[in-house]
Structures are given as structure tokens and as C-alpha cells.
Structure 1
Amino acid sequence: MAEQEQWQLQGSAAELYERYLVPAITALWAAHLVDRAAPQSGERVLDVACGTGVVARLAAERMGSGQVVGLDINTGMLAAARSLPTGAGPRIDWHEGSALEMPFPDADWWPGRDFVR
């Protein structure tokens, strides 16, 4: 089984994740993560294994302008992320792919220069 296939969710799992787990668990640590990272206007954020995009959305809201990219291997999670409103801030670009083989040129993202979760 290919890596891409083994990480796919069935049915409405992504929607249930967003409805129940994000408010109860994920949103709490996501807010702390974005607080600590403190992305600034004009910066770039790459949310690796973004799931339904809670960190990417919070970062975009706080930045005002810049670039926010969400990357996840799961098509269902990305579909849920794309269906949710993003609020203020830069548009979020959602990409399907593995954190082990990121679909970006090697020099596109640098920890220390860009906020990479």
C-alpha cells in the first residue's frame, strides 16, 4: 500500500474531526502555537500536516498579509480545510502531499526565515 493511500480517511471523518476534535482539543494548542510563533504581516507560513487547517487559518488571521500554505497527505482533511471560511488575512494555498516528499522546490522554505510547523 502506497503511503498516500494508507493515510486517507473514510466517509465523513474529516468533518467529524473538525466539528468535535478541533474545538475540544486542537484549537487550544493551535492558538498557543501561533501565539509562540507570532507570525508577522508579510511573513510566510507553511503548516505541514495541516489537517483541516486550524493552525493555517489562525496564522492567516493574525498576519494581515503574507503567504500561508497548508500541506497534508489526506484528501478528506484538505477538502474540509478548503470548505471552511478563512477570515481576514492572506488567502491560504492548500496542497496535497507528504511531509517526507514535499511538493515544493528545496529552497522554497527555510526554518528560521519562514514559520514552518
Structure 2
Amino acid sequence: MDHMKREMKEKMTNNFLKTVSAYANYNNGQIIFGIDDEGHTIGIDNPQQFCLNIANSINDNIKPVPDYDLQVTPQNTIILDVYKGDEPPIFIMEKRISVMTLHLFLSVL
């Protein structure tokens, strides 16, 4: 990936969607899950289910859905490559008690 930003995460939190949105709006990027804060590989339990959860989170909460790839490494880390969208802005959709909130993250990286 050209001009790629990289971020490491121990596990999946809702904050990763902000990073996905920023990469899709600004430039290509990569998130690697299963790496702790010190940079040690800890892996992910049940990596196939974890990938499904990532895909569902992106597909359900980011519009338009950006192009991305998921890969499981031999160490059971998950690599999420996010590609810059052709037509930003890319939004995070959040539902709050019948009110929908849009979050836009541009050039936060």
C-alpha cells in the first residue's frame, strides 16, 4: 500500500471505526490486531470470528463502505488494510435511541 499509515491494537474496540474512516477519507492505512502496547504479538483467539466481527462492524457502521482486506497471519494476528475511498467523505453511522448521528473524520492522521 502506498503512503500507508499503520496502527497496532490489542483488541477490537469501537474506536477502530474512527481509524478506518480516517484512512478511507485521507489515505491508505493498516490496522494490526493482536499486538499489545509494547509491540508484542499476543494473537487473537478465534481469528475467523474476529474477522467476521470486523467486517460486520465496518459494513454496518461506515457509509459508504470503504474497500478493505482482512488477513490472518500465522501468529493469529489480523491485518486490516483500508484503502482511500474514491469519493469521500466516508461517515461513521451511530444510532442513539431513534436518532442517528453521523461522524466524519477527515485528515486526523
* Same fold, TM-score > 0.5, yes or no: no
Q: Which structure: greater helix fraction?
A: 1
TM-score (norm 2): 0.34
Higher relative contact order (CA 8 A, sep 6+): 2
Q: Which has the higher strand share?
A: 2
